[in-house]
Amino acid sequence: MIKIHLESGPTREEPEGVTVAQALKDLGVATDHQAVAAAVDGELLDLAHSLDRDCTLAPVWLDSPQGLEIMRHSAAHVMAEAVRSLFPGVKVAIGPAIEAGFYYDFDVPEPFTPEDLAKIEEKMALLVNQDLPFERREVSMEEALRLFREQGEAYKVEILEEIPADQVSLYRQGDFVDLCRGPHVPSTGYIKAFKLTAISGAYWRGDERRPMLQRLYGTAFPTAEELTRHLELLEEAKRRDHRRLGRELGLFLIEEEAGPGLVIYLPKGAMLRSIIEDFERREHLKRGYQMVMGPQMLKADLWKRSGHWDNYRDHMYFCDVEGQGYGVKPMNCVAHMLIYKSRVRSYRELPLRFFELGTVLRHERSGVLHGLTRVRQFTQDDAHIICTPEQVESEIQGVLDFVFEVMGIFGFQYEVELSTRPEKSIGSDAEWELANNALHNALNAKGIPYSICEGEGAFYGPKIDIKLKDALQRRWQCATIQCDFTLPERFDLTYVAADGQRHRPVMLHRVILGSLERFMGVLVEHYAGAFPVWLAPVQVILLPITDRVHAYAQEVEGLMRAGGLRVELDSRPETLRYKIREAQLQKIPYMVVIGDREAANRTLSPRLRDGTEWKDMTLETFIERVQEEGRIPTPAKFP
């Protein structure tokens, strides 16, 4: 007999070999289509798994984040089985669950079509209705290799050949067998509401030198109502797509002629960016940051010393100048360390906070470029705080306060993650432990809930990532705080302490908005292009009805500009209805109609973006109202 303890519940003795499902049932947990797996001493396992030792059980419910991920991964296997049955000779690659869905990559002679998606969905529905069990089997590496070689599954063979293990696990449902760690839902019948959503190309393992595969995307939810809501959000996301709105609103261009991943700002886009940059400068100066600026490229030897050469070289651009190798900067930290080293520093100067709106270039593969949110050249609101070890936690807390205040100003919610040491990194274990502890302690001191992302830190230090949530509840990586004990050592940064001796400072790498390009893309979609007055590139457009009032319209334009308003005058010989429609499409907050009556009375007739109309308003009153609405909002205070 073995003792099985239900987390936050009773303990019961069961015969050795009892399944997880039976143990949960005996402990009073209803598992029928509600629990999809269980955590056994923290390890996720199938409900059919046999227990052979004393342990603690915690059911994983279908509507929990872990349960949804398990169900969606199971749906990917069902999709792969459907594709295999409909398209003989297809080769399968990988099929993970992703946020809000799943995908599977296939090697097929001809690309999939939208009509193929309907056929695959229909076949998936048949497989779900058959309620086929997901059966796990542990096999030797030799057996697994033999099986997939016989099936001609070259991608599975390649994966197996890189696994340093004697045994692997396979899952079967119906006629489909896949290499997988699991767990899975007990049977296909648990997958109630699903939809295939998109087709794209994807290079095998993201390498453009490898075969181009066909990637099928889908999603799955516990109920049809949740699926319907999600699909509505997807349609809304298409309407808000910043790539389309960017052209329609005249914000930016990305032209193949100029080069992929390189942004060309149009006047309104450049104005929006300038508004954000001016806001950033003011907020940083208020908090004691000093403005600095580094060169766009530095000698290759510096990148070798910093560790970028060994750990980040594939993402960098290099050139040769008069026989000397240079690296175009992918980050701003190296120049900031040289600024610190330009003279001897005293402990009385610390912390030093260097801020730069630094433009960087990174080699991103063309397949991952996406509008403003993934580009090759971008500008970061980058800062490096160099401080004593005793100041680290308070400085991290100060950055957290800064981030949350800015998120409130822009109207974003957020989630927080702490990412730990990756496999490819520099620095000693002791330094990483110190950095980890500093980040943990700062978050705990502020009472901020956070999740742990194992192995996803920067190569030089762990980090806190703040992911903002937009109007559609999508998560975007923007702010980050990285704690670094390693680079100050590599660049021999020191300060003279109170004891007269030289000591090693700590460096915090941090951004608030992150990439301005990505943040602008997120803003466009968050507001659907209808920016609040303080952010709108054009706040007011003047619409004269006839040429007779053009002189008055020009006078109004000048007075508005003098009052600090961002105003345009539409003097085209078009009808008023046409001009209003154009201004509405441009999502301009205020349209001001000027006719004979307004010119005679020296008044205005503004029309708001939502259709509200004001009649016979004085120019002074209107300017004051727009000035008031154009002020940066005050965020709710972070507790």
Catalytic (active site) residue 483: no
Q: Which helix (H) or strand (E) holds 325?
A: strand 324-328
SS3 state of residue 211: coil
Q: Which of the residues 362, 376, 421, 607 is marked catalytic? A: 362
SS3 state of residue 93: coil
Q: Which of the residues 215, 242, 421, 509 is marked catalytic? A: 509
Among 174, 219, 169, 172, smallest CA distance to 193 is for 219
Strands (E), 47-86: 55-61
Contact 592, 604 (CB under 8 A): yes
What is the DSSP secondary structure assignment for residue 313, as one 8-state letter? G
Contact 421, 455 (CB under 8 A): yes
What gap in Å lies between CA 96 and CA 80, rounded to an integer?
Answer: 11
Residues 6+ apart with CB under 8 A from 604: 556, 592, 593, 594, 598, 614, 616, 617, 618, 619, 622
Contact 546, 571 (CB under 8 A): no
453 CB burial (10 A radius; 0-12, 13-18, 19+): middle
Query: How many residues make up the chain in this entry?
Result: 639
Among 195, 194, 212, smallest CA distance to 203 is for 212
Q: How many CA atoms lie within 13 A of 512 on its CB side?
A: 27
Catalytic (active site) residue 548: no
Contact 195, 122 (CB under 8 A): no
Order of strands across the sheet that contains 567-569:
567-569, 540-544, 590-594, 603-608, 617-618
Token pair for residue 454?
């194992």
Catalytic (active site) residue 380: yes
Contact 103, 215 (CB under 8 A): yes
What gap in Å lies between CA 197 and CA 177, rounded to an integer?
Answer: 24
What gap in Å lies between CA 262 and CA 243, rounded to an integer?
Answer: 13
Q: Which of the residues 273, 463, 566, 607 is marked catalytic? A: 463
Catalytic (active site) residue 5: no
Catalytic (active site) residue 509: yes
Peptide bond into 573 cis (omega under 30): no
Q: Which of the residues 156, 384, 510, 566 is marked catalytic? A: 384
Among 494, 515, 513, 496, smallest CA distance to 505 is for 494
What gap in Å lies between CA 329 and CA 362, rounded to an integer?
Answer: 8
What count of other Cβ atoms lies within 10 Å of the Cβ of residue 356?
23
What gap in Å lies between CA 342 and CA 344, rounded to an integer?
Answer: 7
How far from 563 is each of 161, 299, 452, CA to CA, in Å?
69, 48, 49
Phi–psi pair at 334, nearest 5 degrees: -65, -45
Query: Which residues lie across from 509 on neighbouring strands?
Result: 384, 482
Catalytic (active site) residue 453: no
What gap in Å lies between CA 103 and CA 95, rounded to an integer?
Answer: 5
DSSP output for 133-148? BPEEEEEEHHHHHHHH
Q: Which of the residues 55, 333, 387, 483 is marked catalytic? A: 333
Q: Which of the residues 173, 214, 380, 391 is marked catalytic? A: 380
What gap in Å lies between CA 514 and CA 138, rounded to an integer?
Answer: 45
Q: Which of the residues 46, 105, 116, 382 is marked catalytic? A: 382
Catalytic (active site) residue 572: no
Distance from CA of residue 540 to its chain's centroid? Answer: 33
Token pair for residue 562?
């003098």
Name the one residue in this structure whose structure tokens are 């301009």: 588
Peptide bond into 505 cis (omega under 30): no
Q: What amino acid positions are annotated as catalytic residues?
A: 333, 362, 380, 382, 384, 463, 509
